[in-house]
Structure 1
């Protein structure tokens, strides 16, 4: 077997096409657009290159056929926030051959080690964790856009190599034809109409305001996380620009208290229902097909990609009030019959409780693994930090030490 660094167009094509070959008989698999994957490895498109680096390889057999692939990356903003400097590996695909899989893992590990890392997470993305993050281990059904789909045998590869579960990621599904629990509605309506609170959805004609509102809430809500790094506003502007025509303005909501942004909620139409017909290509013909299927209202699912609430307001039921507004929107869009609530970590029992309170059913589980290069060091999972401990660094430190 021969490991080859991806450095030219032929290698890039082999890297991209391998997944299509491995899943060609799997009707649940929707191949991501080639341009999207290529953009992740292009410094001109991916802002993470301003504070990190990435590399990728393909693995070929003795006949020159590509049988595996993997990427490795370092995000300098997060790598050194852990006890062991930690990089990542991702975009792993491989035939059912443990020797081949282990060679791919070894290659990523060696590069990361040479670059000062002492651990690697995988499979993860060289970007935010809302896309291409985690290994699918349960729920081998059509995935929402951005949620990875994998071969069932990958789990054994990761665990036999020595990866351990760092945290679990759950995706809940909500049947929009069913009513929300009555108790939930009473709380939601009460909050939605409470004086001082206001709610509004995203509008393109005022998009910069909403970009800044997301940043404000995100920075406040996530700043106590151990590996927090602020959002790059240009990344949000890029998403808004590239999503125009697909993004539903009424699927993105904001909550305010006395005019100050305190929460946001982002849901996106699940374009995988169209991309599954395109085999990763977005040429002129497929663009026309995309518009055709979009106009025909082929998309019947939406996916919640992220929700954030400023800690001070996390016990006010603001999330419930946003769902209350979203329910009114969905009544005017009857083509949507399902909402994916993804993903929530096992370290976040508060959000798990919210998803279950609205009637969500756990349908998919992804694992984010971690591999420590020093096999003698103790392994610690992501700690569960109770809501009441957020904002108090002393309590958070104590909770973390208890978890370890």
Structure 2
């Protein structure tokens, strides 16, 4: 039996090796989208990721016969430790993620070291995979392996589910994404709801103004942290994270794809839609050099994308479960649908992720005839 050696990642070169490993593992998987290596490296570098302002992590590599054969990250979000236990995180709950391995025994060896590190930090339970923040790529893909993920969503090997469950983990929560044909008008009942809202002088659905990026981001953040505060897995986004996410996403922020809903002049809801950048970067194989940077800049000048992704949507808590909340949601969805088709050539959208028990959002997705196209699962285990 071959000897598997697990080592902690310490140096800059080891971090690069950590990032490079999946490129070989997934080289024959047509659905995998190679991330831009610079962005992937920034995710695990404390100086470049605002999440580390309230979190810590230890990365591990697996070696066999002098070759890297797997990786994993163990991490603790200190804000997560302060959240109510019934919302998924809470005291004593650590996480692991960014897991990739060639074989199950390699995965088990990596997981053992990740769990040992979490225990050494006083953790009593582990959630995973979460890579690395709940706001980045949470969950293991368990359905939808045949097509590529959209921007900011993950991909995985089908084997991983069995490996995780045989390691003693059970389902904590399921996350769903919905596929939608946006070239078709929504059902008539949705159209009537939108028209009714348009006749209501109290309601205004406006585009964001990218020239006031910081101000608009602050408005959305305030609504988000209120709207999602009771959700499973919620950890408030912090200013350092917003700063870094803003730098990364600002180039693909377009005024007509992000809407803020105002009621009596007060912002009460928002919807963020992004062109699927994965369509553009997939052929780059993780590299912007020598000429891919020029291709990306050219695309950003007049982006065309088959797919749009709706990663975030929220309505302030005081309006949730009301008819007004649904009406605002349908209006924002319809206005963005029109813009996506007319201005970007899009024909489909992916909405999510949505928690399996978020009945309000599930009802909205079903009302506009969305269908589940990918399922992700977060697992839990006592340490």
Same fold per superposition (TM over 0.5): yes
Query: Distance in 2 between the 1:355 and 1:261 partners?
Result: 23
Deviation (angstroms), 1:295: 5.4
Please list every run of 5 or more consecutive structure 2 residues that lacks an aligned counterpart in the other structure: none
Tell me how far 1:372 sits from its aligned partner.
Answer: 1.2
Answer yes or no: is 1:139 the counterpart of 2:144: yes
RMSD (Å), alpha carbons:
1.8
Please report the TM-score for the alignment, with normalisation by the length of structure 2. Answer: 0.91
Contact 2:49 2:244 in 1 (8 A): no
Matches of 2:111 and 2:313 in 1, distance apart? Answer: 33
**Correspondence 1:347 to 2:357:** yes
Q: Could you state the TM-score of these two structures normalised by the residue count of structure 1?
A: 0.87
Matched positions, count: 370
Kindly indicate whether the alpha-carbon contact (under 8 Å) linking 1:166 and 1:368 is maintained by their aligned counterparts in 2. yes
User: What are the Cα deviations for residues 5-44 of structure 1, in whole angstroms up to 9, with x where unaligned?
Assistant: 1122332232112111111111111011112222122222
Matched, 1:338 2:338: no
Instruction: Say which of 187, 209, 222 aligns to 2:215.
Output: 209
**CA shift for structure 1 position 49:** 1.8
Question: What is the correspondence of 1:176-255 to structure 2 with a 5 Å cutoff?
Answer: 176-225=182-231, 228-255=234-261
Partner of 2:338: 328
Provide Cα deviations, 1:70-128, integer angstroms capped at 9, x if missing partner: 00110011124326511110000011x2211111111110000000111111110232x
Give the CA deviation at 1:297: 4.5
1:293 Cα offset (Å): 4.5
The corresponding residue for 1:65 is: 67
State the alpha-carbon separation in 1 of the partners of residues 353 and 244 from structure 2.
22
Aligned residue runs from structure 1 range 1-400, under 5 A: 1-61=4-64, 63-81=65-83, 82=85, 85-95=92-102, 97-127=103-133, 129-140=134-145, 141-225=147-231, 228-294=234-300, 297=303, 299-314=305-320, 315=322, 316=324, 317-333=327-343, 335-373=345-383
8 Å contact from structure 2 (residues 341, 347) kept in 1: no
Secondary structure (helix, strand or coil) at the match of 1:304 reads strand
Please state whether the residue corresponding to 2:186 is helix, strand or coil: coil
Task: Assess, with a 3 A threshold, how the Cα gap between structure 1 residues 28 and 257 changes in structure 2: closer, same or farther.
Answer: same
Q: For 1:232 and 1:334, how far apart are their aligned partners in 2? A: 32
State the distance in 1 between where 2:311 and 2:47 align: 24
CA change 1:214–1:293 in 2 (3 A) is closer
Separation in structure 2 between the aligned mates of residue 174 and residue 236 of structure 1, nearest angstrom: 28
Distance in 2, Cα, partners of 1:222 & 1:103 = 36
CA contact (8 A) 2:51 2:241 kept: no
Q: 1:283 offset after TM fit, Å?
A: 2.9
Q: Contact (CA 8 Å) 2:182, 2:341: kept in 1 or not? A: no
- Tell me how far apart the structure 2 counterparts of residues 274 and 195 of structure 1 sit (CA, whole Å): 41
Alignment deviations for residues 50-69 of structure 1 (CA, whole Å, 9 cap, x no partner): 222011011011x1111110
- 1:149-199 deviation per Cα after TM superposition (whole angstroms, max 9, x unaligned): 000000001100011111001100111122211111111221233121111
